[in-house]
Structure 1
Amino acid sequence: MTSLPAVRPASGGTSRVAAVDPAAFERELTDLALAGAGWPELLARLTAATGRATRLLTADGAVLAGGHARGGLSRACAEAAQHHPAARVRTQDGWTARAVPARAGGRVAALLLIAAPAAEAHVALARAAVTALLIESVRRSATGASRFGDGAGLIGALRSGAGDAAGDGDGVRLAASRFGLDLDRPHCAAALAYTGRHTRTWATALSWLERPVEQHGERAFTLVADADDLTRTRERLELTLGAGTVLAASGPDSTLAGGYATSFAEAAALLAHLSRAGTSAQLPFADAGLLQLLLAVPGSRLAYFVRHHLGPVLDRPELLATLRLWLASGGSRQVVSEQLHLHRNSVGYRVGQLKTLLGVDPVDPGSSAVLHAALVAMDLLNEGESPYSERVLTAADGSS
């Protein structure tokens, strides 16, 4: 747990503040909030009553009102403050205060900071202001939820990371609750693809899923609880569209606090890999093996790895195809010969070329593992579905 800096005891004005009845003050601010007063006005009234500056932060420490953008708390400090009745904190701009958690049900919706030195009388008035601040929070959440419109808008916001921005979280939660989703509990981003010809039926089948879905032609995105839920979703779609016509992949577990953008990007990358490989209809992140690691590597590093280990043959598709089958078959000349329709001697000649150009023996266990990883990394980059923006592979002759 993050240590919280000490705050000096309050001095001066405490007796005047103590004379203010917290219950009456709470009623006053609640009436203001119900009449439409926003956070700035409510905080100004609290500051006038206590003689102390105030700030309102999100539960993870971002500034909502009463300060500038860099005047919040680190996520670790904010999380520690959530578990204390009036934690002593220091903001990122050096402001010392006591933090009062604003709870909505069992969840901390915000942190109210009152400047040090702050005695218990100051803290009592800060607590009295919480109800009014939450009323405004609910009003803003309802307005924010309307920004996401239908299920497609909600999923689009999560994919773009808009739901992670300060002030958006409550709106996203409210929009998700309309579909029975609690985004504070882990969910997996899911990417779906239709391989058939009945595109209108595909759109209809997606609308029957009773969950938020964003469709982009033959691809679609949604949320699932786990790998079993991914299977159920795919099978339900195939009841309408036909067996074997839907591909499905999922990203790692995420929560709203952790962000869904990366999970959706990785689900899309796994879906692209699944489409290319054609070996199965479904690929949950938990079963992705080596891809779990490679998806977390920036594209520039992947490109370097590929160039370093495959550079001399990047412009030789026939050698890449031979290498891929050679590794997949454990070095079986017969399998490669049958799959590529080559004479066994031609396979031997190509393997000899690979050894010469790459400088390693593909049969060697250590070399084969590295070469396999390089081929998978190359596929990720060529599919253009890496969660990162760098997508450049340079062949031996310098072409991209």
Structure 2
Amino acid sequence: MNPIRSLSAALLLTVSAAALSSFAFAADPIKIGVPVGLSGANSVVAPSVVQSAQLAVDEINAKGGVLGRQLVLEVADDASGAAGAQKAFDALISQKKVDVLISMETSAARNAALPIVARSKTPYIYTSFYEGKSCSPFMFVNAWVPEQQVPPIVDYFGKEKGTKAYFLIGSDYAFGRGMLAFTRKYIEKNGGKVVGEEYLPMDGSDWTSIISKLKGAAPDALITSTAGGAPNVTLTKQLRAAGVKLPYGNLAVDEGTAKAMGTDAEGIFLSASYVTGIETAANKAFLADIAKKFGKDAKTPNDLSVPEYEAVYAYKAAVEKAGSTNSAAVLKALAEVSVVGPRGTIAMSKQHHAPLSMYLGEVQGDGSVKVIKSFPSVDPGDQCPNLKS
């Protein structure tokens, strides 16, 4: 046998194997982990979050994917709490081998999961509004914080309703207490006073005694901060049944949950980075695409689901800028990219947080939100000064 010919054949086989291996690797899907509260407090809003993620993935895949690779969603139920989040994050990272985590979660779930994220160094885009100042080199946030969300409601109540005395009600965990701590400081800084502040456990549903204290305190207005979906529904229903007609600012209600409440939600004031009534081409296209894809099963897009949609595109942009799914490269790129979505241009460039346009709205009888005033590009303030963006 000719040794040169034999060597050439061996080299050809080696090169071919390497090429096939490279092709197979390039064709492997990019896995996006979505840990979310399909059960528990967030179960009211979680389906809309999953729909938004699926729409983004399908749109991107239809245009060739990311770096020639398709995106795949891996959804896990975190049960809206700490224990469930630990299991969901661990399963997604260790078993499903996801490349990134993108999701809306309760603060309890997020706090429990962050050590797991840190150990694995997996990029994590947190898409839920929250109480602020949660910092990790592996986490980016594209939703609002108190500095962006609270002032529009308190300022409006003070100027338009003449409110001086406030009663605060929240769920007893990081989000509820964190939001109301900021709210109390802002109220007092602006000449108002808090005449009562009460909390119920996150999974609590009987607000009777707190509503009794509210009535006894005789405030000018009520501001609440509960654990998203289910507690919002039970509290509002019981407030209406008790005949409470005070100006009511809700720091945790989204448009989808407001629709689920029916007429009970009418008159609630909210401050959000997204409402369905945003009059832009990007938002109109998004709403049409959601309706087309999911039909009668489509959930109302809201301030918790739309950031999920935009975050998938932000991850796409970061991977393309990095040229790979390498975690370190993607984390660097996430601070540098921006995306244009239903909420406008979003860049997580301020200490891993995003300046956002905010909308002060009032819930109407059909659950829709009438925008009273808009606030362009509101800065999130100092959230994570030790993180370089």
| TM > 0.5 fold call | no
Higher RCO structure (Cα 8 Å, ≥6 apart): 2
Name the structure with the higher helix share.
Answer: 1
Shorter-chain TM band: under 0.3
What TM-score, normalized to structure 2?
0.25
Higher alpha-carbon Rg: 1
